[in-house]
Structure 1
Amino acid sequence: MMRTFLPPGAGRSSALPLLVLSLLSLSLLVSPAALANDYPTESRVDYVLGCMAANGNSYLTMQKCSCSIDVIAEHLSYETYEQVATVMGMQDQRGELGVLFRTERGMQDQVQALHQAQADANLRCF
């Protein structure tokens, strides 16, 4: 964190514009990729472990699965990823609730976006 040092006797109100300008300039230095990297570590690890269970528990598979979640994170925000995971989990439900998650167009579009991200990840990582 950047600290603003004030000369002795300087009031905080005179440093406020400098602090605001400093924070604004720092926010311009943050890359779009860093802003897109909003996936919590726990979710990334969970994905990699599931991917490894499906594809083999080797070091090479771990590298490929780690690459895969990184590619998915480039395509989908974490919020969207969570929503898709919920939709996919609810599609297996019986009755009207399951039908809603299987047929609602907006939800299916999100699932399709995940499938496209996974296809890109497969091409780039596997």
Structure 2
Amino acid sequence: MKRILFPSGGARSAALPLLALSLLVSSLAVANDYPTESRVDYVLGCMAANGNTYLTMQKCSCSIDVIAEHLSHEAYEQVATVMSMQDQRGELGVLFRTERGMQDQVQALHQAQADANLRCF
């Protein structure tokens, strides 16, 4: 096993900000895994529900950024599917409305949206 030795003084203090920066960049990359199409679709729907103004566009853009901090794009798409299937009639709709795991996913989105509302609106 190879050891990494830091020389005393300036080299060690220079390494810490670089480590912090790399952690920040990696967390931003995870929060920015939403494709542009998904972000635009959300913003357009949000604007339609809240008014088609420039200020609303800024708030809705902020909102999807906050949601992306809470949920991966894959989880967001799964929740969107669950929510659209809940409107189905019959046994299929009941399954999507009552299955615990699916409801937990929907609850996670609602919590992310609540945080987004507090931070952006």
Same fold judged by TM-score > 0.5? yes
Kindly report which structure 2 residues correspond to 1:75-114, keeping only aligned pairs within 5 A, or say none: 75-114=70-109
Instruction: Please list every run of 5 or more consecutive structure 1 residues that lacks an aligned counterpart in the other structure.
Output: 1-27
Partner of 2:7: none
Deviation at 1:35, TM superposition (A): 2.3
Deviation at 1:43, TM superposition (A): 0.3
1:49 and 2:32 aligned: no
Question: Percent identity at matched positions?
Answer: 92
User: Which amino acid in 1 is paired with 2:97?
Assistant: R
1:120 and 2:98 aligned: no
2:26 equivalent among 28, 31, 34: 31
CA distance in 1: counterparts of 2:31 and 2:119, whole angstroms: 18
CA distance in 2: counterparts of 1:84 and 1:125, whole angstroms: 21
Give the TM-score, by structure 2 length: 0.79
Deviation at 1:34, TM superposition (A): 1.4
Write the deviation string for residues 89-120 of structure 1: whole angstroms up to 9, x where unpaired: 00000011000000000000000000000000
How many pairs were matched up? Answer: 99
Instruction: Please list every run of 5 or more consecutive structure 2 residues that lacks an aligned counterpart in the other structure.
Output: 1-20
CA distance in 1: counterparts of 2:53 and 2:31, whole angstroms: 28
Deviation at 1:32, TM superposition (A): 1.2
CA distance in 1: counterparts of 2:104 and 2:30, whole angstroms: 24
Moved over 4 A (4+): none
Q: Give the number of the structure whose alpha-carbon radius of gyration is greater.
A: 1
